[in-house]
Amino acid sequence: MEPDTADILRNEVVDILRKAKPTQSNITKKEKDAITRLKQDISIQVLPADKGRATVIIYKADYETKVKSLLDDEKTYVKLDKDSTQQYKRKLVSILSRLRDEKKLSEQLYKELYPTVEKIPRMYCTPKVHKAGYPLRPTVDYTGSICYNTSRFLADILNKVVGKTEHHVKNSKDLVTTLTNLTVDDDEVIISYDVVSLFTNTPIDKAVEVIKQKMEADQAWKQVTLLESEDVVELLEFTLSTTYFHFRGELYKQSFGTAMGSPVSPLVADNFMEHLEQTAIATESKLIPISICISTPIILSNTS
């Protein structure tokens, strides 16, 4: 917009907000009182469900017992004795400063990525109410952490190399559109595979190797950065290894997999799953004819 046009629009928006009246509450006084009592009850934990818009009320003792059972998995989590935020910050600043000096990061981008806050990521869990026993899904809130802005920056880069496989599905709407025109014959069956705890089960070393190979084969990511592939890998390895967080005042580090909650984690997991999917199809299609593969759901012919 032209500056004059933008100023007029701002003034109109301000005028509308000044004249606007608060909307009427859609809950009764009894419902308000019930919410207040729930909020004041320290024996319970009020959480959003992992899927859908449901709200879950769970006894805090049960919640903490389930979280502790997750954190006791020594393959995935390690308890820390001290806060390493300053150490991580110095290392990240060192990498960013070098890239700026090499003219691979502009001064403005360097300032955007520079960690100005030192918030320790916080872990919380959401109940999977659609599964038996209501297991918890761990999520780490990286907002405000030293790696948050760098993770978002890396996500923009990796977004240029993901989703280009033959069987990629953009979203659930894309899947529904594709399935609408799909006919399943009597000798065919739809099979859907699901990965248990995808993020924490993604091998970082292999995932980074796959991403590096994709970046070398597809140069589209260079449209959004001046970095070399080695620089992206260096930042990615640092970000994916800085997976520490706190829960109930205690510090932990995720020693395997990528943390759910980091902006770059979905792109890392997607890239690895695309590689795994292509490898599996290339192998299994020699034994079983595959008519179509859409992300994880596939149709196998001649199943009888």
C-alpha span between 161 and 177 (Å, rounded): 24
* pLDDT for position 287: 53
Taking only the tens place, the pLDDT of each residue in 255-284 is: 988 888 899 999 999 999 999 888 877 776
Distance (Å) of CA 287 to CA 188, 261, 295: 15, 38, 20
What average pLDDT does the structure give for the chain?
Answer: 88
Closest Cα to residue 182, out of 294, 296, 303, 295?
294
CB atoms within 10 A of CB 158: 20
Strand spans (E) along 149-216: 189-192
Any idea what the Cα angle at residue 146 is, between residues 212 and 73, rounded to 5°? 75
* pLDDT for position 297: 40
Owner of token pair 């990521």: 121
Taking only the tens place, the pLDDT of each residue in 189-240 is: 888 778 888 888 899 999 999 999 999 999 999 999 999 999 999 999 999 9
* pLDDT for position 67: 94
Helix (H) or strand (E) holding 298: strand 297-300
- The ranges of the chain with pLDDT < 70 are 284-304
* pLDDT for position 293: 42
* pLDDT for position 288: 54
* pLDDT for position 284: 64
CB atoms within 10 A of CB 298: 22
- The phi and psi torsions of 253 (rounded to 5 degrees) equal -130, 135
C-alpha span between 301 and 288 (Å, rounded): 7
